Chain A
């Protein structure tokens, strides 16, 4: 049982981040976003509004897209977190990262890690086919530069690639 009184010792948790098991000790008021960015120096995940409104902090928790700014890190004990650093780097890019480059789906890039984590989850969830459906199910990610049409293009490209792969496999 994990317990802490105000001002008392930090609470130990075990958490898997991008496939690596980590043991960290933290105060209960630390958000997952602050743990990632401040304590673990994984600054790919961005802090935008810090109130769950912009989606820049989106990460995958046990495969589900979640706003990390509204999650207390202490409650993530035993969970697996994937951040943009765990999705692809350098020459090893995820197809959606590649599609973002090809479709010019960003300008300043600040919202991009959250857009990509969210878009990957959208593709896995399998509930969006049309552009309208993609737009609706990406409504939790704000892009102040307004790259939305290109973001939808990039996600649609990967959805089409995926359905192509599924068709080939079925034939």
Chain B
């Protein structure tokens, strides 16, 4: 690890002011991703601003519209085992429990989950070129070993994927990210929070200099998806592995017809992958394989696999159909029995 100075923030304003005045500063909370990256010297902050004493970033609370607000410092475990969240947004519960391990979930925070970096091998290896780590240095994954990489929304500079499970569910549930910064507070819709790599792959999200995630909120109406949902995660081993492909699927059914649908993919792009057209293609239709396959084809349209990850296109198509089938039948993927029913 590089040498750095340490500042324990006493207030949110104090943290923002440190970030603003020192471009080499980074914020730390759970540390599970940042400390790891510092050990690899992928991240070399000049100063760490410790957010963990800021009580205003803690706690899970109910909102006036019947939704929930999750503070940025709330550990993943507390999200996973909150009974109110499990009742209103079980898709989120399932997605959080599909990621990492109990020890990591106890430390990793909600804000940190949003801001974690890609697990692309090349990003994590300072001996190789990476436009995300060092803009302009090139991309080791394009033409390299790219089995785990993106098939959608990538650029000629970066084919990394966003590694989160939680964010796939938050995207599907149309969550909102509350941030605070030098210019005050603002709210960002979840689909606008992360971004595609384009020609600035070093930017994972749309946060501005000095901004800090304060909370994530879920609208009351997103709880209408609490009956028919699933989070289906496909990976190289059955636990504690990042997704090759994951699907967050949620439906509102009116008899056998689909009244509303949400569909988001993880493991395939630089951000959770959603398309309104794919969801609109489900609305008003009878729940069934033909309809689900059509939605999968729309969501995967334009997929551009690389040398080692063409399998992801077929895997994703089948996973989407399977997930929508599970959601329609109200039989979400089991968290402990990993057989795919």
Contact = CB atoms under 8 A, between A and B. Distances in A.
B107 interface: yes
B206 interface: no
A77 B8 CA distance: 11
A55 B31 contact: no
Given A58-B103, A118-B103, A139-B101, A1 B10 contact: yes
Given A65-B102, A122-B102, A31 B35 contact: yes
B74 to A, nearest CB: 13
Contact of B32 (A7, A52, A136): A52
Nearest to B10: A1
A140 B101 contact: yes
Interface in A1-20: 1-8, 11
B3 A6 contact: yes
Contacts of A118: 102-103
Interface residues of B, number: 34
B27 to A, nearest CB: 12
Given A66-B107, A132-B337, A136-B239, A75 B28 contact: yes
A29 B104 contact: no
Interface string A117-131: 010011001010010
A27 B3 CA distance: 9
A65 B105 CA distance: 9
A75 B31 contact: yes
B61 to A, nearest CB: 21
A87 interface: no
B8 A55 contact: no
Interface string B14-39: 00000000000000100110011011
A66 B4 contact: no
Contacts of B336: 130, 132-133, 135-136
Q: Which 9 A-B pairs have the closest CB atoms?
A: A140-B101, A28-B6, A139-B239, A132-B336, A6-B3, A139-B240, A140-B103, A64-B106, A136-B336
8 contacts: A3-B8, A6-B4, A52-B36, A58-B103, A72-B28, A72-B35, A74-B50, A77-B8
